Structure 1
Amino acid sequence: MEQTSSIGKAQAVKNISTWQMPDTLVIIFFVALAAAVLTYFVPIGAFDTQEVNYLADGVEKSRVVVDPSSFQYILDEHGDPKLQPVALFEGGGGAGFFNFAFEGLVSGSKWGSAIGVIMFMLVIGGSFGVVMATGTIDNGILRLIDKTRGNEMLFIPAIFSLFSLGGAVFGMGEEAIAFAIIICPLMIRLGYDGITTVMVTYVATQIGFASSWMNPFSVAIAQGIAGIPVLSGSGMRVIMWAGFTLMGLAFTMSYAKKIKQTPSLSLSYHSDAYFRDNQSKASLDSRFNIGDILVLLSIVATVAWVIWGVVTQAWFIPEIASQFFTMGIVIGSIGVIFKLNGMTINKVATSFKQGAGTMLEPAVLVGCASGILILLGGGGPTEPSVLNSILNSAGNVIGQLPNALSAWFMLLFQSVFNFFVTSGSGQAALTMPLMAPLADIVGVTRQVAVLAFQLGDGFTNVLVPTSASLMATLGVCRVDWGDWLKFIWRFMLGLFVVSSLVVVGAHYLGFS
């Protein structure tokens, strides 16, 4: 009997030790299931919209936003708020539960949401497949490691700070995907991991995005909708950006140091094997000729050109994808002319297809995550949906709270709402017309309401699986979202605690 008990305990310990975090697709499936169940209990409602005008850089702009006083539940034939439960399957192009994956994959347009981001991923994946096939990156990394031996830790603060600045100045986010493709092999070579790559690229951009003083896609729009001077309060926000950037950098460097000392501690150690197994076996004095120099110059020129286009011409996904596609053609031609790694025209085509193929897994995750929003009725304010009802109810709750608690609850609400609407400008258009007048009612300045919006909207982008840019960056670095969650939750909790102190402190200081 005692022996049987011992065997049972040993088996229980074994079962616990072999438990694994569910695959990302499994997690998304159950979140979609929960969203579908919600439609059986929460009635649908809709808002009217109105156009607001605001000044940005001395230019009058307008934007269509929610009319906060216009919410109405859709009523059934008995005059009661109407439920619109999701069926298991809908024909005729409808969105039943088992339609959510397909509908998510084809949702949106070339300007964003699922289909735009997926095509963006395939194009840049293919283009960088051509780049990697030339061997220039591998050989360049080897030379770089040789020249900077002993100073590798300098890469992390330099890269992290630049990406945070990019997020703050021009809302950098999707662009991090392309950089991660190049930086990840470098990080693995230096003894770090894929998680470190995600931190110094995508997470850094979102820290900058959230704490920005001039982000045109969040702060400027939110302030314009709230009716306060656009880019006002910049002094305080610059200090906030520096503080959050230092916080993120310190966390990243501490983690990177631990992984460099003991690589097996990395949660992505198993998936990093892809990069370790595909590392070039070339020596430090390997090939590096004029063809390689031209390849690197083409990459630098493309990046500079894209940054110029984003900042001055408001380029977005279609234009950025086109520039990287052009880069792939140019670098493929250089590879053929200089016979880099035996490149031929056919090898250029094969490399493009293989590079695009590596993006299929994260593309599927992006599409399925987008399907969750569709199950809740979509993100349009005038379309009857469960999401609009949730938005209205949250506004009513905030309106009943004491002022300091209201300020904090705005942050909490924006953080949760970002799970459903990850677009900064989209969330501003949906929530700020409600939050701004509520702030007046409960005695919170509108500037604090904007602060709660930008911190709640930006920081949760590093966690939610519905963020297409996060899932794409994790995909190119081969980091599973489940492993990412186990790593990032402590940092996310720290960000939320500090953000709470900032918002409540700004309220008591009368930030306006």
Structure 2
Amino acid sequence: MAQNKLKDKLMALPSSFTILFIIIIVMAIFTWFVPAGSYEVDEAGNIIAGTFAYVDQQPQGLWDVFMAPVKGMLGTDGTPGAIEVSLFILVVGGFLGVVDKTGALDTAIAQVVAANKGREKLLIPILMFIFALGGTTYGMAEETLAFYPLIIPVMIAVGFDSLVAVSVVLLGAGVGVLGSTVNPFATGVASQALGISPGEGIGLRLVFFFVMYAIATVYVYRYATKVQKNPEASLVYEDYEANKKKFKTKDTKDKMNAKQKIVISLFGLTFFLMILGLVPWTLLNENWTIFETINSGLMGIPLIGTILGQQMIPLGDWYFMEITMLFFAMSVIIGMVYRLPESEIVSGFVNGSKDLLGVALIVAVARGIQVIMNEGMITATILNFGERGLSEFSPVLFSILTYIFYIPLSFLIPSTSGLAGATMGIMGPLGTFVGVAQDIVVTAFQSASGIVNLITPTSGVVMGALAIAGVELTTWWRYVAKLIGIIFVVSSILMALGVLFF
């Protein structure tokens, strides 16, 4: 018995919170030994190539280590805070809590399961393609956190596990971002920094999109098939029964009543409006101004404009403040439409938020890693290493090494737009110098950033998704290890082919 207890203790893995805090400590130690440095920046905040200079060491101590998650939540001059994302998560939890009071969602999920009896695995490629489209068009990332509480019960109910559920959303949207075609926050920002059109190189990026979607879908499909045939093959089998209870659905014989149908319609409308609001329509097509026109028209109507509020922002210009407001407002509307008592609406919202509190906190801890990096001033040093080391290779080798070099940079700067703005001013001209088209550099950057953001603990999206599903980070790494290896090899090959044929 004592030996079994000792074995259990040795096999027990630290929680995601602990792993993240250990990484913060390790990064802080690095700031004592890795030389600190900085670049000059232009008026737009882009790094100016050739301006790197070493600066005084900025070692991060115990105060900084414990302060990092706090700054990660509230933000610093060099790192945006996670407060907007964390608040969004809490409000989504509250929204789901109110919907749960109506019973509409459980009944709807049960009916979806019943309708797909015998063809459950078809949900995987369909849902993954939908999320991949969101990733490739507008960089769908943090917004996916709202979908996990919906997808997980469906996947569990049809006989899969929580890893399959996370994969459908995280890998689906993730490979879409990896193969960004018109994503303004990756392709757009990077292309703008180089002064080229986002359309340049779209042929290669379309190849990336479809190849990576196919690889990820087959990978998830095969694992799901294995788990459905034998639940003990699941990497989270020890939580299998607990997850079936935690993410339980109602009896499939239940039918939605009239009020529940209205709730489901409003529920779907909420997510539809979120997507419409987040897609930057005018960046994708400068002539697409329909939402600005509608917004201006409504604001111009004397009484209606005053009632709606003169600060209403048109769809396409929304970000976390606006979609958080959307979910908060729809929580109230759904509660009133279903005629829930005021106390039920409030208790449902509060309890729902409480369920996602750990998720909201883990996003801040993950952001703390980037805080330590920035305040220790070691990111620029690593970038300078690449600037000096990549300029003497052949075009094909340069494209592959640039892709590889962007992998650690993507760990240091998990924001695709932030990474593009910080590095394109250096890497683009380097590519031109060795005979590589600048759009190839853009593709290398977004592909590397995409693969890292499937697994990095510095990403609030990854950590938030795993926290919602109750999956430990180390389990996720074990699950996707082969997939990451396949994506890495295929991406390297596609980069070489891109130089030769695109």
Q: Is TM (by shorter chain) over 0.5? A: yes
Counterpart pick for 2:25 among 30, 33, 51: 33
Equivalent residue, structure 1, for 2:274: 306
**Shift of the alpha carbon at 1:274?**
4.6
Amino acid at match of 1:38: F
Equivalent residue, structure 2, for 1:83: 57
**Shift of the alpha carbon at 1:230?**
2.2
Separation in 2, partners of 1:31, 1:67: 30
Amino acid at match of 1:67: I
Amino acid at match of 2:267: I
**Shift of the alpha carbon at 1:507?**
2.0
**Shift of the alpha carbon at 1:355?**
1.2
Separation in 1, partners of 2:200, 2:237: 45
Structure 1 residues 106-121: aligned runs within 5 Å: 106-107=74-75, 113-121=81-89
Amino acid at match of 1:347: E
**Shift of the alpha carbon at 1:443?**
3.0
Residue 407 (str. 1) matches residue 399 (str. 2): yes
Equivalent residue, structure 1, for 2:292: none
C-alpha change, 1:429 and 1:351, in structure 2 (3 Å) is: same
Residue 109 of structure 2 contacts residue 249 of structure 2 at CA under 8 Å; is this kept in 1?
A: no
**Shift of the alpha carbon at 1:108?**
5.7
Equivalent residue, structure 1, for 2:216: 248
**Shift of the alpha carbon at 1:18?**
5.1
Further displaced range: 143-152 or 408-417? 143-152
Residue 489 (str. 1) matches residue 481 (str. 2): yes
Q: TM-score, normalised by structure 2?
A: 0.87
**Shift of the alpha carbon at 1:282?**
4.2
Q: TM-score, normalised by structure 1?
A: 0.85
Equivalent residue, structure 2, for 1:373: 370
**Shift of the alpha carbon at 1:281?**
7.0
Separation in 1, partners of 2:99, 2:178: 32
Residue 146 (str. 1) matches residue 114 (str. 2): yes
Deviations 1:294-330 (A, max 9, x none): 1110011112212221223232111111111122112
Counterpart pick for 1:362 among 335, 359, 363: 359
Residue 167 of structure 1 contacts residue 212 of structure 1 at CA under 8 Å; is this kept in 2?
A: yes
Separation in 2, partners of 1:474, 1:130: 23
Counterpart pick for 2:332 among 329, 334, 356: 329
Equivalent residue, structure 2, for 1:3: none
Equivalent residue, structure 2, for 1:428: 420
Deviations 1:212-258 (A, max 9, x none): 22111111221221233222122232232111111111111111111
**Shift of the alpha carbon at 1:204?**
0.7
Residue 153 of structure 2 contacts residue 248 of structure 2 at CA under 8 Å; is this kept in 1?
A: no
Amino acid at match of 2:53: Q
C-alpha change, 1:305 and 1:13, in structure 2 (3 Å) is: closer
Query: Which secondary structure state, in structure 2, belongs to the residue aligned with residue 376 of structure 1?
Result: helix
Residue 389 (str. 1) matches residue 381 (str. 2): yes
Residue 108 of structure 1 contacts residue 115 of structure 1 at CA under 8 Å; is this kept in 2?
A: no
Amino acid at match of 1:294: I
C-alpha change, 1:100 and 1:490, in structure 2 (3 Å) is: same
Higher helix share: 2
**Shift of the alpha carbon at 1:177?**
0.9
Query: Which secondary structure state, in structure 2, belongs to the residue aligned with residue 503 of structure 1?
Result: helix
Residue 123 of structure 1 contacts residue 356 of structure 1 at CA under 8 Å; is this kept in 2?
A: yes
C-alpha change, 1:422 and 1:132, in structure 2 (3 Å) is: same
Equivalent residue, structure 2, for 1:69: 50
Equivalent residue, structure 2, for 1:286: 254
Separation in 1, partners of 2:249, 2:483: 36
Separation in 1, partners of 2:344, 2:10: 42
Equivalent residue, structure 1, for 2:204: 236
Separation in 2, partners of 1:147, 1:98: 50
Amino acid at match of 1:467: S
Q: What RMSD in Å do the two structures reach over aligned CA positions?
A: 2.4
Counterpart pick for 2:134 among 163, 166, 173: 166
Residue 197 (str. 1) matches residue 165 (str. 2): yes
Separation in 2, partners of 1:269, 1:385: 43
Counterpart pick for 1:316 among 311, 315, 319: 319
Equivalent residue, structure 2, for 1:269: 237
Equivalent residue, structure 2, for 1:57: none
In the alignment, structure 2 segments of 5+ residues that lack a partner are 282-315
Figure out how many residues of one structure are paired with residues of the other and give that number. 466
Further displaced range: 142-151 or 167-176? 142-151
Equivalent residue, structure 1, for 2:73: 105
Separation in 2, partners of 1:108, 1:327: 32
Equivalent residue, structure 1, for 2:343: 346
Separation in 1, partners of 2:394, 2:336: 65
In the alignment, structure 1 segments of 5+ residues that lack a partner are 1-6, 52-62, 75-81, 90-95, 338-342, 379-383
C-alpha change, 1:211 and 1:268, in structure 2 (3 Å) is: same
Deviations 1:41-70 (A, max 9, x none): 12222222125xxxxxxxxxxx54111122
Residue 366 of structure 2 contacts residue 463 of structure 2 at CA under 8 Å; is this kept in 1?
A: no
Deviations 1:102-148 (A, max 9, x none): 22232269x96421211111111111121123221111122222223
Residue 90 of structure 2 contacts residue 353 of structure 2 at CA under 8 Å; is this kept in 1?
A: yes
Query: Which secondary structure state, in structure 1, belongs to the residue aligned with residue 42 of structure 2?
Result: strand
Residue 107 of structure 2 contacts residue 249 of structure 2 at CA under 8 Å; is this kept in 1?
A: no
C-alpha change, 1:280 and 1:480, in structure 2 (3 Å) is: closer
**Shift of the alpha carbon at 1:287?**
4.3
What percent of counterpart residues are identical?
Answer: 29
